[in-house]
Structure 1
């Protein structure tokens, strides 16, 4: 019996010259960026999110499916490198340091380490959005500490102040070589103590008009626990006070 005829196997992507592979990869990336799941009007964004237990992780958004990333380790490394080199916007999720017993400096240090493994992001990203957790009163921290049987925190140690006062925070942001905009987003309840303007002065001295502060307050509607829903509204008086503070400081 004659042996079956086998067609020649197709060449693997990994056997093609590097320049040709990059052309193919970039065509696939362009297609993914124009995919309906990745609107072309929105910048390619990498978000840094924490996990309650376990390491932080990076998430890409505004990009469609890219199956080439799943082929093998070599192609994953090559394609992801090209993708991350196109990231225009970096978003630090509100979950960073969202728990009252977390050390925000440690959480942010973990987030830094993720970006340091992607130097192209720090070199090319044009904008950063930093969403800080809600700023509790010291009284909230004291009660929470007693419930968790933890030491009562220092009154000066409240969110988001520790990270704003940290030199590592400012120095890390300065590693981004192409930054055009830095946005800090905050949410307060009306009975919370709002952040002090002087805590943002260090960032303003570095970024000037490239720094934007957005303050919203949370209003809870509904009388029944199961029906209560938060609504976030701009806190214009706080933002107007910040602009006056900057003008007075010159």
Structure 2
């Protein structure tokens, strides 16, 4: 915050002007304090500041000013999403943003979201991001990182990111085929992990890079009469004797 200082020697010229943080008396400025140049100084924090002046006749005086409206803490952003279970229709992300020292008149001036893991500077581009609705909720239909940006009226800015990985493709209708199902087992797979799926002694290894998004996999064990796999999300394992 910029503090402007106006001095008047009342008949004689001002010889020196200094300032210091805190409540100071005249004697403090005998060898201490910061010389004022340009008629202003910057206050970095809330508190009391003292200005000292002496004129050419040797008259000295101090004046104090109390600052209470400096806000230098970034807004806080809390993110959540629903549902947490596997979802074919996407998820709703909820946003809650708050400012520091709202009693001083500070408030949220901008609240945006964008796909990807972004930094505060990315939102300098006015084309980046979409305004978060007044409801504080927006819907996404793809897995990945999402970033929310907030800026307050004091000029403080903040970003918060969230990873969504529970969106799956809509279920595909099973196509009838000739293999009678004897037994089956279902699994929920997420990207970045390797799996060994099993059903009655049969195993299927899934490498970590094979899963591109969270999905459900069902293993179905037939009775040995199946000739081909039907085009579904299920995988038939048949023991050949």
TM-score bracket, normalised by the shorter chain, equals under 0.3
TM-score (normalised: structure 2): 0.21
Larger % of strand: which? Answer: 2
Per residue, is there more helix in 1 or in 2? Answer: 1
